Amino acid sequence: MHDTSPPAPSDRDDEYTLWIVKYGTRTAMRHELFLNYGLYGEPDGSASMDYFFWIARNRLRTIVIDTGFSTEAGDIRGRTMLIHPREALAALGVDPRTAETVILTHAHYDHVGNNALFPTSALVIAQREIDFWTGPLASKRQFAAFVDQTDIAGLIDAQQHGRLHAFRGSTSPAPGIEVLELGGHTPGMSVVSVQTNDGPALLASDTLHLYEQYEREMPFSGVTDLAAMYEAYSTIRTMLNGGITHLVSGHDPSTLSRFRASNRLPVWPARSAQPLRTTAAPHADAARAHRSTPQGSDGQL
42-93 pLDDT, tens per residue?
Answer: 999 999 999 999 999 999 999 999 999 999 999 999 999 999 999 999 999 9
Instruction: Look up residue 115 and give its DSSP letter.
Output: G
**Rounded to whole angstroms, how far apart are CA atoms 215 and 208?**
10
Give which of 28, 22, 73 is closest to 50, Cα–Cα.
22
- Among 49-53, 198-202, 245-249, 266-270, name the one with the lowest average pLDDT: 266-270
DSSP 39: G
Out of 28-42, 221-235, 281-295, which region has the weakest mean confidence (pLDDT)? 281-295
Q: What is the pLDDT of residue 281?
A: 40
Please check whether residue 39 is in contact with residue 46, taking contact to mean a CB–CB distance below 8 angstroms. Answer: no
293 has a pLDDT exceeding 90: no
What is the chain's mean pLDDT, rounded?
86
Measured in Å, how far apart are the chain's first and last C-alpha atoms?
A: 14
Contacts of 24 (CB under 8 A, 6+ apart): 50, 51, 68, 69, 74, 79, 80, 81, 82, 110
pLDDT for the residue 265: 54
Q: Over 80: is that where the pLDDT of 9 sits?
A: no
Identify the CA nearest to 21 among candidates 290, 289, 259. Answer: 259
Strands 17-29 and 46-57, sheet pairing:
antiparallel
- In this prediction, residues 123-142 reach a mean pLDDT of 97
What pLDDT score was predicted for residue 274?
28
**Backbone dihedral angles phi then psi of residue 157, each to the nearest 5 degrees:** -60, -45
CA distance 161 to 267: 38
How many Å apart are CA 125 and CA 158, to the nearest integer?
11
| 283-287 average pLDDT score | 32
The sign of the torsion formed by the CA atoms of 200, 203, 209, 214 equals negative
Distance, in Å, from the CA atom of 1 to the CA atom of 167, rounded to the nearest integer, reads 45
What is this structure's pTM? Answer: 0.87
Reduce the DSSP state of residue 1 to 3 states and report it: coil
Helix spans in the chain (H): 30-33, 71-76, 85-91, 109-112, 127-133, 141-144, 149-160, 211-216, 226-241, 286-289
β-strand partners of 177: 174, 194
Strand partners, 101: 63, 122
Ordered structural domains, the chain, with CATH: 17-284 (3.60.15.10)
209 membership: H or E segment, kind and range:
none
Four-CA torsion 239, 61, 112, 95, nearest 10 degrees? 150
Q: Let me know: does 148 contact 70? Beta carbons within 8 Å.
A: yes
